[in-house]
Amino acid sequence: MERFHRRVLLSQEDLSAGLDALALRLIPQLEGKEVTVIPIMGGAMFFAADLVRRLPAGLVMDFLRIQTYGDAMSPQKEAKPDWVPHEDNIRGKTVLLLDDILDTGRTMKEAKRFLTEEMGAAEVYPVVMIDKPVRRAVEMHPHDCILKIEDDLFLVGCGLDLAGKYRNLPEILALEEIKEN
């Protein structure tokens, strides 16, 4: 990370408060429904773990993986599922689809389409930690989020990564490459 200027976008305290508020907004919407939480591996794992501990017990968790970034700072390939949840956990259920960030929208759009059209989810609520509409390439909006940012920042921490690194940072940092003169 030496080649980047770093700025804290969300501290641990702000992130925790955002998770608390998000859970309070989601609880009444999920009440009385059979809910399966589906984090999109790997970035959403930290967000999902922190969020589900704030939701009522009895949720089913399963997982979906859709990879598009590889080692780059922008999407490198088409979004396609390559690890899918068990159909019994999806068919006819309400799915809380979690991801760390919604930027281009390709991954979330494909995940929602796949869970609804191919796996038979009754409804899918796409929920993200960070909504970054400035990079949106397809029509896709989150059901809810912790933070919406209008700038095109590259972020790491709390599941967000740079070539697989820095996911385990406890806060969210914005990185700006240092320009050499």
Looking at the annotation, which residues are catalytic? 103
Tell me if 119 sits within 8 A of 90, measured CB to CB. yes
Handedness of CA 15, 17, 20, 24 (dihedral sign): negative
Residue with tokens 């608390």: 20
Contacts for 111-118: CB closer than 8 Å, 24+ residues apart: 111/38, 111/40, 111/64, 111/66, 111/79, 111/81, 112/140, 114/64, 114/81, 114/84, 115/38, 115/64, 115/85, 115/90
What radius of gyration, in Å, describes the C-alpha atoms of the chain?
A: 16
Burial pattern 68-80, b for ≥16 Cβ within 10 A else e, equals bbeeeeebeeebe
